[in-house]
Structures are given as C-alpha cells and as structure tokens.
Copies of this chain bind each other. A is one copy, B any other.
C-alpha cells in the first residue's frame, strides 16, 4: 500500500531521547487545521499498587515503525486527518518521564479526538512494544490488559 502524498504528513519516531511536545505540535499545524488533539503517556510512580523506580521499554525494530504507520494509515482512511505523528521512546525511563506522544491535526475537533484515541488504542494492542517495571521489590514484565483489548475492539467495523 503506497500512498506517498498522504505518507508525507504522517510521521513515526522510535527514540531513546525525550521529546518536546511544543515542537511536535508546531510541526503538525497548517493553515487548514482548526484542531490538534494530543495524547502524552507518562511513567507513573505507582502501578497496580506497586512502587515503580523505572520502566524499561523493548521493541521490535522495523516492525514497530511499520505497525505504527499502518495504524496512522487506517486512521487517515477512516477520519478526516490533515497530519499525524507518533513518537514512542524505548530504553530505560524514570518515573514521570514521557513515554509516548500522539498528535493529530484536523479541520474540526471531532475527527482529531476520534483519530487520536483510535491510534492510542491500536498502538496499545498491536505495536510491538513491551514494558518491564523496575521497583523496590524487583522487576516484572507488564501483563497485557483485557481493558485495552476491549477498547481496541470498539473500533472494529462490522
């Protein structure tokens, strides 16, 4: 599926470095954009009652980027999206650090909200990232949540 004209406005980055949301959002903006919706995910101090000291993120290089681009393509086919960006960090992240950023620009807010939430729900259930929590009592791989699968299923077309 090659759609170069559309693909230009859809950016994916997997990186260890932090990101600056102001710059990412500015890059999404254009004259016809009336609305930008962004999501930022952070490392929480606490998860399911356990105190966290750091989060380690592993991914499948190559497949991750392809998976995220496919999710953006699908969002652009289903809603009126002017531009969209996904940035996801990997490696060791401290509590409070941003992990993921999704931004969507659109003429109107309904499309921007819906497409941004769609991208996050599919990223959570399809993109090959894995989180390992490091805490005072040791380390553990996170289990996938049934609630995430249910959220993604809401978007399935009949």
Contact = CB atoms under 8 A, between A and B. Distances in A.
Contacts of A20: 22
A133 interface: no
B40 A25 contact: yes
Nearest to A103: B38
Candidate in A33, A40, A95 with the most chain B CB atoms within 10 angstroms: A40
- The 8 lowest CB-CB distance pairs between A and B, nearest first, are A22-B22, A31-B45, A34-B44, A36-B40, A38-B38, A113-B117, A37-B39, A21-B22
Interface of A: 20-22, 25, 29, 31-42, 44-46, 95-96, 107, 109-110, 112-113, 116-117, 120, 151
Q: Give the oligomeric copy count.
A: 2
Nearest to A41: B35
Contact of A21 (B21, B33, B42, B44): B21
Contacts of A35: 39-42
B41 A38 contact: no
Nearest to A46: B32
A39 to B, nearest CB: 5
A44 B33 contact: yes
Contact of A32 (B36, B40, B45): B45
A80 to B, nearest CB: 13
Contact of A41 (B34, B41, B110, B116): B34
A109 B39 CA distance: 8
A32 B44 CA distance: 5
Nearest to A23: B22
A36 B39 CA distance: 6
